[in-house]
Amino acid sequence: MVSAIILAGGYATRLRPLSLTKPKALFPLLNKPIIRYTLDSLLSAGITDIYLSLRVMADKIIEYLKDVNMLDKVKIEIENEPLGDAGPLKVISEKYKLNEDVLVIYGDIYSEININSLLDFYYKKGCDAVIVGTEVKDPHRYGVLYTENDVLIELIEKPKRPISNLINGGIYIFKRVLFQSIKVPSSISKDFLPKLLRSRCIAVYKYQGIWADIGVPDDYLRLNFELLVQRYPRGYIDSSAKVSESSTLIPPYYISKNNIVGSDTYISSHTILGNDVKIGKGSYISESILMDKVEVKDYTYITGSIIADRSRIGRWNHILDGSILGEEVITSDGILINQGTVILPNKEVNEPVYDKGKIIL
């Protein structure tokens, strides 16, 4: 048997303003929180001894798990102080009776890895630990792995001149006994793994498939669109949604529960609407994510943007590429929001934003 620890306690500073009010683990992918994909994957693999390490906005994650009747599927450990990402492994191993082998997953990682295949590789390889490696186009932001015969030789954090495109995918298997050597607080990649590498065998499972760390808004949009194309190339409309017959829908798109799409509205490709979204007549939405309970009034144009929960967008607005609106933002009628604008939660915008890349605090 295997235990699993999901690390979901950190701040997501690069995802602000979205992460000011929503923990990263609850960011929706096709209207389903990323942590739900992780939990479903573990349960499907037959892993039931699951621990969830939380700190930032832990109450919101617990509330979500209650709402979807999954709180009894996990054991919650809330950090009272920052422990790093390695610290919780030691704390949980000392507090609970874990199985000999422990799967560790970052709560903000999306992958479609076959966990049973990963476990088979781990047992066959016979090492004390396994790192999942995956190839990316730009490895500069990640820990780069140098391997020989699927065994880790060197781990280089965020190198200026990467020696490969194979990076640390944020999924591990460790022998439980290894956690005894962890200092609190400490980092898995900067402290724990380098220490293990000096005396232990660490195997690398090379995963090929969809993988993403939703570290920045562009990554978050890109992953949503990739999943949309893969799963719903012809588009998806929930049975409870009300879409005007005079509207135009260009696939792929995702229209969730209780959406209302008004007459003569144009929903272009790569548009994802959360639950209870209302789109007024004559509006145009393209390559954007509108989260739950967003309301867009008539004749508004939105492209390449993310609009967080419960925001209200006025009539005749233009919201342009790269803009991010936090939760409960309200815009007046006739507002221009130029490219790359960032608006913090609970703001009212009554004047046009002409400057590109402006931050409205």
Mean pLDDT along residues 79-84: 88
Name the residue type at position 157. Answer: E
* Rounded (10°) CA dihedral 111, 116, 118, 122: 160
Q: If you average pLDDT over every residue of the chain, what do you get? A: 94
Q: Which two tokens stand for residue 59?
A: 């109450």
> Quick check: 213 pLDDT over 90?
no
Q: What is the pLDDT of residues 214-264, one digit of tens each?
A: 888 999 999 999 999 999 999 999 999 999 999 999 999 999 999 999 999
- Spatial CA neighbour of 23 closest among 345, 15, 68: 15
Predicted pLDDT at 123: 95
Question: What superfamily would CATH give domain 2-216?
Answer: Spore Coat Polysaccharide Biosynthesis Protein SpsA; Chain A (3.90.550.10)
DSSP 87-143: HHHHHHHHHS---SEEEEEETTEEE---HHHHHHHHHHH--SEEEEEEE-S-GGGSE
Show me where the domains of the chain are located.
2-216, 232-360
> Quick check: 164 pLDDT over 90?
no
Predicted pLDDT at 225: 97
At the topology level, CATH places domain 232-360 in UDP N-Acetylglucosamine Acyltransferase; domain 1 (2.160.10)
Backbone angles phi, psi at 146, to 5 degrees: -110, 125
Contacts of 54 (CB under 8 A, 6+ apart): 8, 9, 61, 62, 76, 77, 78, 79
Q: With beta carbons less than 8 A apart as the criterion, state whether 223 and 217 touch.
A: no
Predicted pLDDT at 138: 85
